[in-house]
Amino acid sequence: MKQSQGMDLLECRHIAFPVYGGTRYPWLRKLANGLGLARVAIRAILEIRRQRMEAVITIIQGRYYFAAAFASFVTATPHITIVHDNIAPLNVGRRNCLAEVRRRGTKMVLQHATHIYAVSPEMQSLVFGECGRESEIQLPSATMPAGNAEGQVRTTGLGGPVILFAGTIGYTVTDSLDLLAKLIVTNQLKEYGMAGAKLHLYTTMTAAELRKHGWDHPNIVAKGWVSQSELAREFSSADVLFLPYSFSKISRQAVETAFPSKTADYLSGGKPILVFGPKNSSLVRYASEQGFAEIVDEFNGAALARGIQKIAFSPSHGERLATRAREVFLANHDIKCQRNKFYLTLERIICASEKVAPSETYR
């Protein structure tokens, strides 16, 4: 709820449920949140029956998808589920009893879902391998901003390029972002003619967190979290859009199957993109296939610096990347197209359930 303040994520009818945090007794917190899950399930069942809901939609993340699946089962309502950035339950080992129970429960949810969306081809393969269920690929999407900055790529001047990163700084990006930050903090980019390079971070990171990471430098600026519409305007001030994925072993399963949602916003930004990630990641594979970015697939400061330099000092190369990015966005990430396809799927599912006549599907 805090992260959604001032944004358009909750501009719809919604019900908020508390999540209990800090306590000296972890078992009490887990018990309270477990009871909270039951509360969500009961409330969902009541709302489905009271308002004659015709479908249940959920995301496989956290734990509330269990409540959604249960409500769908009890009310015999079609259940559509989205497997997006977090499918850890299917990837955990079998030594942890509780994790294995959760993994089996997740498999059961997917096996009984009416329709499944997967965020990438790799995730699609994982779902099929674990659950034997086919799924439909639905890549991250966004709205093409008005006045797209196409054709505004500029040659880097004496001030150096402005590199922009937007999104949550978690375990799937921290190491790659840290390498870029160190290139700026230690002024290693000076060797490549980019002494004044700047990194603009659009994230929730505070000044204290910047210091903790060792990113406290005049050329690294935390701009704060902004909405998608505001972010589209901020792209105009950048020379390079930095799209990292982690090289660390701990994030291997995530980067191989998940897909960063910020990719859609970057593709619509009208600026050249630099993808920095391992060869086995879904992001690097997709960028290689689609040709919308300069790709650096080795965890090496010099290689990363050369990738930035190639964009910064070659406006024609930057223009080609930005133009191709826009083409890929329109073909695969335009939310208008995805929304229309989703409505058709939803109508087909609802009609097949024989709950309502086709003409009454939308009101």
Q: pLDDT class for 95, splitting at 50, 70, 90?
A: low
Residue 313: count of CB within 10 angstroms of its CB: 15
What is the number of structural domains in the chain?
Answer: 2
**Residue 153 counted as domain residue:** no
pLDDT confidence bin for 34, thresholds 50/70/90: confident
Dump the DSSP string for 173-229.
THHHHHHHHHHHHTTGGGGGT-TT-EEEEESS--HHHHHHHT---TTEEE-----HH
Average of pLDDT values for 312-330?
96
Asked, for residue 15, whether it belongs to a domain, the answer is no
**173/261 same-domain check:** yes
pLDDT tens string 139-191: 999 998 876 545 455 555 556 899 999 998 999 999 999 999 999 999 999 99
The residues, ordered by sequence, that sit 6+ positions from 12 with a Cβ below 8 Å of its Cβ are: none
Contact 346, 80 (CB under 8 A): yes
- Shared domain for 350 and 320, answered yes or no, is no
Residue 21 inside a domain? The answer is no
pLDDT over 90, % of the chain: 67
Residues 6+ apart with CB under 8 A from 320: none
Q: Are residues 111 and 259 in the same domain?
A: no
In a domain, 6, yes or no: no
Q: Report the interhelical angle of 97-111 vs 64-75 (nearest 10°).
A: 40
- Judgement on whether residues 284 and 318 belong to the same structural domain of the protein: yes
Overall average pLDDT of the 196-223 stretch? 92
Residue 100's pLDDT is 80
Transcribe 52-63 into DSSP letters: T---EEEESSSS
Q: What is the CATH number of the domain that holds 227?
A: 3.40.50.2000
Q: Same structural domain for residues 279 and 326?
A: yes
Question: In this structure, are 114 and 191 located in the same domain?
Answer: no
Q: How confident is the model at residue 91 (pLDDT cuts 50, 70, 90)?
A: low
d(CA 162, CA 160): 7
Q: Are residues 115 and 179 in the same domain?
A: no
Q: Which domain holds residue 128?
A: 26-141+335-360
Residues 6+ away with beta carbon under 8 Å from 163: 180, 197, 198, 199, 200, 238, 239, 240, 241, 242, 274, 308
Residue 275 dihedral angles phi and psi, to the nearest 5°: -95, 125
Pairing of strands 220-222, 162-166: unpaired
Instruction: Please tell me the pTM assigned to this model.
Output: 0.85
Clarify whether residues 53 and 166 are in a common domain.
Answer: no
What average pLDDT does the structure give for the chain?
88
Answer yes or no: is 229 within a domain: yes
Q: What average pLDDT does range 219-246 have in this prediction?
A: 91
The more confidently predicted of residues 1 and 130 is: 130
